[in-house]
């Protein structure tokens, strides 16, 4: 009890800090965001591939008899709260899947924590009886019907700092395979052999450890939905996930492979029966579609305030279809690709097919297929990304959790396409005050080759005197103006690369 109270206090302090930071109004214009940086001259975008940690996998499955002995996978979330990293992941207690599913249709919501994001412990929470013992790291989920408390697939945890009810500060969405009779109103069995359906179950918690089911499934009136994310953006909560024909289709009614759809809610309790088309890989939209190219389990999301970004599963069918339906996914490969959205609903891929986290070489622990999580943290000079391995051969080989890192916010950079010419980028318009500060995440700016930056007014004309030179590199280089740019409802920034500039612009930060 003391342990849980301590965690709650730490979490509330972190929430208070997060609210304070959010009120500071930081906005991030990433190099790969062509809506935030729409106007470009003589620039190219280069994306970066994350570096895998040498100690991977950093969180391994447990010993025989543990709730995560079968596997430990990050169909889950990592949050940094205060000085502590917190991880919610899916365990499985048997070392094999029966009939394509976890035993008892249950993969426990497990919890781990770390001081550095690399070395993890699995605290004994004392909440759930497992094999006659409560000394395990399983989180408690209470509610009716009981079938909805049994997590079967993807788990997403959201820390909702703005909810005035402390009992709802943590929110979760997960997949439960619920018998049709347990769902009010019932559901049809289109395309299924069993009288179960994958539904989006919602839950709330004060501490992230003890949870209560929050009402009926979000998609109780639909056919099925494999939820894979939960986030708040603007005035709505959103829940994205994957579907495949016959439960969804392309805009013209033709069949589609796995694609990402989105539900929304204004209050977390009542969810839209309608969905938005969130993201499809380019090959899925081609006519005819590229064979076997699909979007696996939606995306793991990272809310950066003014922009949503994430990693999605770049599913590719096996070169040859398995002879036995029992091994339907044998030979499937999955890497992780980058997507971005400026409205929280519609996502796009900055460079289609680029692998931010690529599966390992043959023989590596993560050599088959990767699973994304909601697991991004900026720590020091690095961006940390956690992910999992999926053995599509059905043997559950090395299905554990790894870590990859990038330069802080260094998913990509803009640089000159033709070195002999000058180059520039102009941001979209944004509201500004006299206290708006500007910082650059930049490499290659020097006194010999300075990068110029100036304010533009609502007509995209330079504001008199509001021009500065950036002559140093860094993750957050402040820009100082001799003459304050002044307030305005519509302002923009112009960044100018001189001829021969070696500069690489990763991001622009605005802070009020």
Ordered by start, the domain boundaries in the chain are 26-47+413-511, 51-409
Percentage of residues in the chain having pLDDT higher than 70: 91
| Residues whose CB is less than 8 angstroms from the CB of residue 401 and which lie 6 or more positions away in sequence, other chains included | 57, 58, 59, 60, 72, 73, 74, 87, 89, 386, 387, 388
Q: How far apart are CA 140 and CA 88, in angstroms?
A: 12
Tokens of 481: 């103006």
Q: 43: part of which helix (H) or strand (E)? A: strand 43-47
pLDDT in tens, 130-176: 999 999 999 999 999 999 999 999 999 999 999 999 999 999 999 99
Counting DSSP H helices and E strands in the chain, the numbers are 2, 33
Tokens of 371: 């699973």
Question: What's the confidence (pLDDT) of residue 23?
Answer: 36
Tokens of 448: 């010999």
Q: Report whether pLDDT(388) > 80.
A: yes
Query: String of b and e for 28-59 (b: at least 16 CB within 10 Å)?
Result: bbbbbbbebbeebebbebebbebebbeebbbb
Question: What's the confidence (pLDDT) of residue 8?
Answer: 40
DSSP letter for 450, please. Answer: P
What's the Rg (C-alpha) of the chain? 24
pLDDT, mean of residues 20-28: 61
Comparison of pLDDT for 424 and 184, the residue scoring more = 424
Q: Do 377 and 4 meet the contact criterion of CB atoms below 8 Å apart?
A: no
- Phi/psi of residue 498, each to 5°? -70, 170
Q: Is the peptide bond before 288 cis (omega within 30 degrees of 0)?
A: yes
Comparison of pLDDT for 330 and 174, the residue scoring more = 174
Query: Which segments of 156-313 does DSSP mark as H helices, in order?
Result: 282-285
Q: Report whether pLDDT(4) > 70.
A: no
Q: Do 374 and 78 meet the contact criterion of CB atoms below 8 Å apart?
A: yes
Question: What's the confidence (pLDDT) of residue 348?
Answer: 98
3-state secondary structure of 315: strand
pLDDT, mean of residues 465-479: 96
Question: What's the confidence (pLDDT) of residue 7?
Answer: 40
pTM for the model stands at 0.93
State in Å, rounded, how far the first CA of the chain is from the last one.
Answer: 41
pLDDT, mean of residues 466-485: 92
Percentage of residues in the chain having pLDDT higher than 90: 78
Select from 2.115.10.20, 3.40.50.280, 3.10.129.10, 3.40.309.10 the CATH code of 51-409: 2.115.10.20
Q: Do 392 and 100 meet the contact criterion of CB atoms below 8 Å apart?
A: no
| Residues whose CB is less than 8 angstroms from the CB of residue 397 and which lie 6 or more positions away in sequence, other chains included | 368, 391
Q: What is the CATH number of domain 26-47+413-511?
A: 2.60.120.260
Q: Report the range out of 116-125, 313-322, 483-492 with the highest average pLDDT.
A: 116-125
Question: What's the confidence (pLDDT) of residue 18?
Answer: 34
Q: How far apart are CA 95 and CA 91, in angstroms?
A: 11
Question: What's the confidence (pLDDT) of residue 223?
Answer: 60
Q: Report whether pLDDT(275) > 50.
A: yes
pLDDT, mean of residues 495-504: 97
The residue whose two tokens read 């305030």 is: 305
pLDDT in tens, 64-107: 999 999 999 999 999 999 999 999 999 999 988 876 788 888 99
What integer best gives the mean pLDDT of the chain?
A: 90
Alpha carbon separation from 175 to 109, 146, 440 (Å, rounded):
11, 14, 40
Q: Report whether pLDDT(17) > 70.
A: no
Question: What's the confidence (pLDDT) of residue 327?
Answer: 66
- HSE at residue 345, side-chain half, CA atoms within 13 A, is 11
Closest by CA position to 38, among listed 314, 439, 342: 342
Q: Do 88 and 110 meet the contact criterion of CB atoms below 8 Å apart?
A: yes
Would you mind telling me the total number of residues written for the chain in this entry? 512
Q: How far apart are CA 39 and CA 274, in angstroms?
A: 34
Question: What's the confidence (pLDDT) of residue 2?
Answer: 40
Question: What's the confidence (pLDDT) of residue 78?
Answer: 98
Alpha carbon separation from 305 to 74, 365, 374, 452, 462 (Å, rounded):
24, 35, 15, 27, 27
Question: What's the confidence (pLDDT) of residue 15?
Answer: 33
Q: Report whether pLDDT(246) > 80.
A: yes
pLDDT band at 245, cuts 50/70/90? Answer: very high
Tokens of 193: 């052999």
The answer to whether the 26-47+413-511 and 51-409 domains have the same CATH topology is no
The residue whose two tokens read 């064979």 is: 291
Closest by CA position to 265, among listed 311, 209, 227: 227
Q: Report the range out of 194-208, 244-258, 326-340, 376-390 with the highest average pLDDT.
A: 376-390
Q: Report whether pLDDT(9) > 70.
A: no
Question: What's the confidence (pLDDT) of residue 321?
Answer: 80
pLDDT, mean of residues 325-347: 90
Tokens of 157: 């945890």
Q: Do 368 and 359 meet the contact criterion of CB atoms below 8 Å apart?
A: yes
Question: What's the confidence (pLDDT) of residue 5?
Answer: 40
Question: What's the confidence (pLDDT) of residue 187?
Answer: 52
Question: What's the confidence (pLDDT) of residue 134?
Answer: 97
Strands 210-213 and 226-227 come out as unpaired
């Amino acid at each position: 009890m003391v342990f849980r109270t301590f965690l709650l206090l730490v979490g509330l302090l972190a929430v208070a800090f997060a609210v304070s930071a959010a009120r500071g109004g930081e906005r991030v214009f990433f190099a790969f965001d062509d809506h935030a940086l729409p106007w470009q001259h003589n620039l190219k975008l280069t994306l970066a591939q994350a570096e895998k940690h040498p100690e991977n996998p950093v969180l391994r499955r447990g010993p025989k008899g543990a709730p995560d002995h079968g596997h430990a996978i990050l169909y889950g979330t990592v949050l940094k709260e205060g000085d502590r990293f917190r991880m919610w992941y899916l365990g499985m207690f048997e070392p094999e899947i029966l009939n394509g599913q976890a035993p008892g249709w249950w993969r426990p919501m497990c919890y781990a924590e770390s001081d550095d994001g690399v070395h993890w412990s699995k605290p004994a929470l004392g909440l759930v009886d497992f094999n006659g013992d409560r000394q395990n790291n399983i989180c408690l989920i209470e509610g009716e019907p009981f079938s909805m408390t049994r997590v079967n697939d993807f788990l997403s945890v959201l820390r909702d700092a703005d909810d005035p009810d402390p009992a709802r500060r943590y929110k979760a969405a997960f997949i439960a395979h619920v018998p049709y009779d347990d769902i009010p109103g019932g559901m049809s069995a289109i395309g299924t052999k069993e009288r179960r359906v994958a539904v989006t179950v919602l839950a709330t918690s004060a501490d992230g450890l003890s949870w209560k089911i929050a009402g009926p499934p979000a998609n109780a009136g639909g056919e099925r939905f494999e939820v894979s994310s939960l986030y708040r953006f603007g005035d709505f909560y959103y829940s994205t996930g994957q579907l495949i024909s016959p439960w969804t289709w392309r805009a013209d009614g033709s069949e589609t492979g796995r694609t990402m759809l989105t539900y929304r809610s204004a209050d977390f309790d009542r969810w839209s029966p309608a969905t938005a088309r969130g993201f499809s890989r380019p090959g899925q939209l081609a006519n005819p579609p590229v064979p076997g190219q699909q979007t696996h389990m939606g995306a793991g999301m990272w809310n950066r305030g003014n922009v949503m970004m994430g990693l999605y599963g770049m599913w590719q069918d096996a070169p040859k279809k398995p002879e036995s339906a029992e091994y339907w996914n044998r030979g499937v490969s999955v890497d992780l690709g980058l997507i971005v959205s400026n409205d929280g609903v519609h996502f796009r891929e900055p460079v289609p097919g680029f692998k931010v986290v690529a599966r390992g070489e043959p023989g590596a622990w993560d050599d088959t297929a990767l699973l994304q999580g909601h697991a991004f943290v900026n720590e020091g000079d690095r961006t940390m990304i956690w992910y999992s391995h999926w053995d599509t051969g059905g043997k559950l080989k090395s299905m554990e959790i790894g870590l990859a890192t990038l330069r802080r916010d260094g998913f990509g950079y803009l640089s000159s396409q033709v070195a002999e010419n000058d180059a520039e980028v102009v941001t979209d318009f944004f509201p500004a005050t006299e206290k708006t500060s500007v910082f650059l995440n930049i490499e290659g700016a020097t006194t010999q080759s300075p990068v110029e930056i100036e304010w533009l007014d609502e007509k995209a004309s330079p504001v008199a005197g509001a021009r500065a030179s950036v002559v140093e590199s860094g993750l957050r280089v402040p820009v100082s103006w001799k003459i304050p740019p002044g307030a305005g409802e519509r302002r923009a920034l112009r960044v100018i690369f001189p001829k021969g500039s070696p500069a690489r612009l990763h991001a622009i930060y605005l802070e009020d």
